[in-house]
Structure 1
Amino acid sequence: MEQTPSRQEASDAVQDHGWRYVLGALQTSVPVGTLAQAISLAGDAVAACGDDADRHLRVDVRPDRAVFTLRSSDRATVTTRDIELARLISATADRSGFLPEPGTGAGAPRSVQTLEIAVDALDIAGIRPFWKAVLGYVDEAGAGGPEDPLVDPVGQGPAVWFQRMDRARPQRNRVHLDVSVPHDEAPRRIDVALAAGGRLVSAARAPAFWVLADPEGNEACVTTWQGRDG
């Protein structure tokens, strides 16, 4: 029977297998040499997952890599079955001579990550229908309330969520990006952003998220799964 592990349990269970827990999903990236290799590896992963592939696995296939994401579509979160499937996919890739890795570290192009767009609003229920219509988005699985996030039905675009304001703030940007990265990637990502001219606005909620800003004050948050329990 599938169970829902804690964030810490999910992260610990897959870390040594080349996966990372990022925003309610397990992710890894497998570098390859050709598109044919990526497609072949994706097929092997689907075979390893068996009947659970359609409910748990998503694959982004590129000529230089295959990016795997595991999450229960029924529960919209990571389950113990996703952890089992991550280990099976890692073993399958290893037998084919490929190394699943989350891309953390200075030598990697970038880590696995998930991007969200946050919209500040005084009346979330009033603006949410507009964003749902203009983006062609749908309600998040298991949600659908007047203030809940919106998601791309084909999984290509970033999710959009809404942050309530207590008063109008005309001198502050009202849309910002949330970049969810592996917990061990966050310090490096913040350091390079600061070195590129950014500034740290707030670390009050770290390690759940750090608020950064560019030289003109436009904000972005670097987020991790840590610091969100309790």
Structure 2
Amino acid sequence: MTNADQPGAAPVSRPAASAAVTPLGWRYLLNRVRAIVPVTSLDEAVRVAAVAAGAATDTTGRLTIDLRDDRVALTVVDRRAGRLTETDLAVVRSVTTALTDAGFVPGPTGDSAAQLTEIAIDALDIPAVRPFWRTVLAYVDDPTDSPVDGGLIDPTGLGPALWFQQMDAPRGQRNRIHLDVDVPHDHVDERIAAAVAAGGTLLSDAHARAFWVLADAEGNEVCLCTWQDRERPAAPSTAVD
């Protein structure tokens, strides 16, 4: 029986996932959910991790914990399926309850610790370039995507995801590799305003609220992304991003 066939492992849509976890202090980002628990020392971070791990003892392969002396980042996703499931939401609720009972509250989620970054590569022939990137980065196929022209992920969960954008013709005067920064949906407007104030330019909001295209003073582009408005059909390959 595959993981997808297991009871309680039904995939969860982006809107449903966000609606379920946002009131708990978590945010939906790139097929997973993340929460930040502020701490005052590494010893306290270890206590937070112990509480979270204790609440997820029967859910191997779902909870990832990153400890720092000022925060603990908790990430939940079914790593075998590569996407969020109903079981993952149960883990979030269980972990949140355990943390709250212990005096730890998930949040805030507006800083960089609550975002996830992926790298996008423009390519005319994705199957021709994809094996190189898969090998040179020691990445693996994204289980939610095509093994021929789909995205790649770090099997350790540490590095940014990589995906390939199909191009119809070479692009001049533009970086062919750009960052996609997936931020909490309720903080993206503030991030855009700050980026523009820092000397950036908003190039396109044609696909908001899925993503906005911004550029620095020399035209190097980055996309600020959220989970929203991604249930609609994909944009054609001639789109800006």
Relative to the length of structure 2, the TM-score reads 0.89
2:69 is equivalent to residue 67 of structure 1: no
Q: Once the 2 structures are TM-superposed, how far is the Cα of residue 111 of structure 1 from its aligned partner?
A: 5.5
Cα distance between partner residues in 2 of 1:14 and 1:7: 11
Is the 1:23–1:180 contact (alpha carbons within 8 Å) kept by the matching residues of 2? yes
Residue 95 of structure 1 corresponds to 101
Name 2:117's counterpart in structure 1.
115
Counterparts of 2:143 and 2:108 in 1: how far apart (Å)?
Answer: 26
Is residue 79 from structure 1 mapped to residue 81 from structure 2 by the alignment?
A: no
Gaps of 5+ in 1: none
Pair 1:156-2:163 in alignment: no
Q: Is 1:223 matched with 2:210?
A: no
Distance 1:20 1:142, change over 3 A: closer
Separation in 1, partners of 2:171, 2:51: 51
Structure 1 counterpart of 2:77, which letter? R
Moved more, 59-68 or 134-143: 134-143
Alpha-carbon separation, structure 2, partners of 1:112 and 1:101: 9
The two structures, once aligned, show a CA RMSD in angstroms of 1.4
Q: CA deviation at 1:55?
A: 2.0
The correspondence for 2:215, drawn from 213, 216, 220, is: 213
Answering whether residue 40 of structure 2 is matched by residue 33 of structure 1, we say yes
C-alpha distance in 2 between matches for 1:183 and 1:111: 14
Give the corresponding residue for 1:192.
Answer: 194
Q: Tell me the residue number matched to 2:11.
A: 4
Structure 1 residue 143: deviation in Å? 4.3
Give SS of 2:181's match: strand
| Counterpart for residue 236 of structure 2 | none
Task: Name the stretch that deviates more: 73-82 or 187-196.
Answer: 73-82
Q: SS state of the match for residue 14, structure 1?
A: helix
Distance 1:214 1:171 in 2: 13
1:49-92 deviation per Cα after TM superposition (whole angstroms, max 9, x unaligned): 1210x221111111111100111123211111111211211121
Q: By how many angstroms is 1:172 displaced?
A: 1.1
Report how far residue 229 of structure 1 moved: 1.1
Q: Which amino acid aligns with 1:153?
A: P
Q: Aligned residue for 1:58?
A: 64
Displacement after TM superposition at 1:5 (Å): 2.3
Aligned to 2:237: none
| Runs of 4 or more consecutive aligned structure 1 residues displaced over 2 Å after TM superposition | 141-144
Do the aligned partners of 1:102 and 1:111 also contact (CA within 8 Å) in 2? Answer: no
Native 8 Å contact 2:124 2:168 kept in 1: yes
CA deviation vs aligned residue, 1:117-168 (integer Å, no higher than 9, x gap): 0000111111111111221212222546221111111111101111011101
Match of 1:22 in 2: 29
Find the residue that maps to 1:50 and give its secondary structure.
Answer: coil
- Provide the rounded CA distance (Å) in 2 between the counterparts of 1:209 and 1:127: 25
User: Aligned AA for 1:39?
Assistant: V
Note closer, same or farther for the CA distance 1:169–1:142 as it changes in structure 2 (3 Å cut). closer
